Amino acid sequence: MPTDTTVPRSTTRPPLRRDVIYELLRASDEPRSISSIADELGVHPNTVRFHIEALLRAGRVEQVMGDSAGPGRPPVLFCASRRMDPNGPTNYEFLASILTDYVAADPDAAAIAAQLGRSTSATLVSAPSRRRTPSKTEAVNELIEILAGLGFEPEPAEGPRTREIRLRHCPFQSLAEQHREVVCSVHLGLMQGALTAMRAPVDVNRLDPFVEPDLCVARLVRAKRSTEETR
């Protein structure tokens, strides 16, 4: 008797994808209950509830109260959020490129870029550091922490006589290759502004970009703070 070698077809239902629920709600003319979604998709209500809660946290779905047909609590319904999906595609690099191109067209591009960096860097400094005057070592170490958080991969300071900060990565490299003067000036301004916010006894007077293919160097000098800056 011949043996049947046919592989039996799986009866296992494929896992429900969250986007299926989201698209169903987007296509609905009115808010839906968890039970009605489960009935339409042929899945357990708990499965729908699990995905609905995740969609709520992501801001893609909103919860609304339905009309009550009698005594008791009104039904809880769900609809797709009317705002744009915050988790959708992004293209911040293109926006950064537009802004960089605009600044680069100005005759004073480097000065403008440095000022932009200085004007935003104070928010990167911790509150305790803004309330007291740090030593050179403390200021350099905090600046290194800030740069590490921004993705510059700074090497650890060599000690109190450190005269430079060595940076092993540029998180803006693709833009720096197009407009090095602008991007590196923003970076220089960020460092200068952070040290000013700390009232540090040290400053960065120069940033030497790509002295090696994988190295930029920030040069440190004794700070000359104005009376206003040291208050």
Residue 5 confidence (pLDDT): 47
What's the CATH code of the domain at 38? 1.10.10.10
What's the CATH code of the domain at 108? 3.30.1380.20
Q: Is position 163 within any domain?
A: yes
Q: How far is CA 176 from CA 170, 172, 183, 226, in A?
A: 8, 6, 5, 32
Q: How far apart are CA 188 and CA 103, in angstroms?
A: 16
Q: Is the pTM of this model over 0.95?
A: no
DSSP 115-152: HHHHHHHGGGS-HHHHHSPPPHHHHHHHHHHHHHHHT-
Q: How far apart are CA 38 and CA 15, in angstroms?
A: 13
Q: Does residue 170 carry a pLDDT above 50?
A: yes
Q: Is position 210 within any domain?
A: yes
User: Confidence band (pLDDT; 50, 70, 90) for 8?
Assistant: very low
Estimate to the nearest angstrom the gap between the alpha carbon of 175 and the chain centroid: 17
Domain total in the chain: 2
- For residues 26 and 106, membership in a common domain is answered with no
Q: Give the mean pLDDT of 29-53.
A: 94
Q: Is position 4 within any domain?
A: no
User: Confidence band (pLDDT; 50, 70, 90) for 147?
Assistant: very high
- For residues 122 and 217, membership in a common domain is answered with yes
Report the mean per-residue pLDDT for the chain. 88
CB 61 within 8 A of CB 78: yes
- For residues 131 and 206, membership in a common domain is answered with yes
Please tell me which residue, 221 or 85, carries the higher pLDDT value: 221
**In the chain, what is the straight-line distance between the N-terminal and C-terminal CA atoms, in Å?**
98
* Number of other CB atoms surrounding residue 1 within 10 Å: 3
Q: Is position 122 within any domain?
A: yes
- For residues 75 and 161, membership in a common domain is answered with no
Q: Does residue 229 carry a pLDDT above 70?
A: no
User: Confidence band (pLDDT; 50, 70, 90) for 129?
Assistant: confident
